[in-house]
Amino acid sequence: MTGSTVRKFILVLLVAAGLFALYWRQRDMEGRFEELRKNQANIEKMRREVEELKLRIEQARERVDAMKSDPVESEAAVRRVRHFTRGEGEKIYRVEEPAAPPPPAEASPVEAPPAPPAQ
């Protein structure tokens, strides 16, 4: 290669590098790459959360199946939810709120009784 060809090559290379640098700056490529990294991290976080929720769902299904087939497990779940206890010789009483009284019946339109005679 001759000296002028090398100079032309270097000049074209410098112009291309300059155009690339301008394009990079104009399009805010660094900001976009940073945003891409953040989005990838969020996606990975969400994937882990989904896997954790799938595990919790599977555990809940196993507990439900155990309650269906095991009356002791079913009783324990009811006691846990209702805050019931069981002890040696302990009697358990359940207190229920009395039902609300029925609403008063509407009075039928009856004529007023006649006034007593004057004396």
Find how far residue 51's CA is from the centre of its chain. Answer: 14
Reported as a single tens digit per residue, the pLDDT across 76-118 is 888 888 877 777 776 767 777 887 777 776 655 666 666 777 7
Reported as a single tens digit per residue, the pLDDT across 36-89 is 999 999 999 999 999 999 999 999 998 888 888 887 788 788 888 887 777 777
Find how far residue 1's CA is from the centre of its chain. Answer: 68
- Asked if residue 85 lies in contact with residue 92, where contact means CB atoms within 8 angstroms, the answer is yes
Cα 76 to Cα 86: distance, rounded to the nearest angstrom: 10
Model pTM? 0.45
Residue 91 DSSP symbol: -
Which 3 state secondary structure label does DSSP give 56? Answer: helix
Between the two ends of the chain, the Cα-to-Cα distance in Å is 145
